[in-house]
Amino acid sequence: MPQLNFILATNNDFKISELTRELAFFGATGQDYQAVLGRRVAFPPEGTTSYAANATQKAQFISQLLPDALVIADDSGIELAHRPGELGVQTARELHAKFGTPAVNQALIERAVDPDRGFTMQTVIALARGGELMALYHGQLTGQIARTPWPTGHGLDQILIPAGLTRPLAALPLPEFVKYDHRSQAVAALVKGMTQDEA
């Protein structure tokens, strides 16, 4: 069976790196759309109500430009247990606009509510081809927000402690990381779904 290859519909360098790493872990490959298309494009503005809608819009947009490719896009967000109605689908826009990228982790640490400091992190990956949505894949991580960031790693991985563990995602080796990480779960479902379809 030929290896699955997906085109990544994002301008976020961290997402490109993480999706490529996670696809490789599950036996597939990922490629930045810019390397195939030969240019960078501006995506349509994202909505504020649905992870699935945002991911679908991005995947369909790039798949219209690369109609023969399997194109994936994701949308993710965090919800704090005791602050309903905050963040969620608007996580990136709210946090980065209010606090700036370097201060996002500290902002979440301060907003987490004791005693459990609970959170839920959601990801939806949309798969599209020829401008049409083929499938949606979901991942979810629950746990608690750390009180201090882990000294290594990147972004929210430094402060998200999966339920049942005492260390954040950034401290976990890759085989353990992918069991808990929300985006990894969606990637695993994607590869499994495509592999079963081709069997």
- Told to judge if 75 belongs to the known catalytic residues of this protein, a careful annotator would answer yes
Q: Could you write out the DSSP letters of every residue in 148-185?
A: S--SSS-GGGGTEEETT-SS-GGGS-HHHHHHH-HHHH
84 — alpha (psi -120 to 50), left (phi > 0) or beta?
Answer: beta
Among residues 32, 74, 75, 157, the one annotated as catalytic is: 75
SS3 content of the chain, % helix, strand, coil (to 5): 45, 25, 35
Quick one: DSSP state of residue 102? Answer: G
How many C-beta atoms lie closer than 10 Å to residue 12's C-beta? 12
128 and 71 Cβ atoms separated by less than 8 Å: yes
Residues 6+ apart with CB under 8 A from 199: 1
Q: Which residues are catalytic?
A: 75
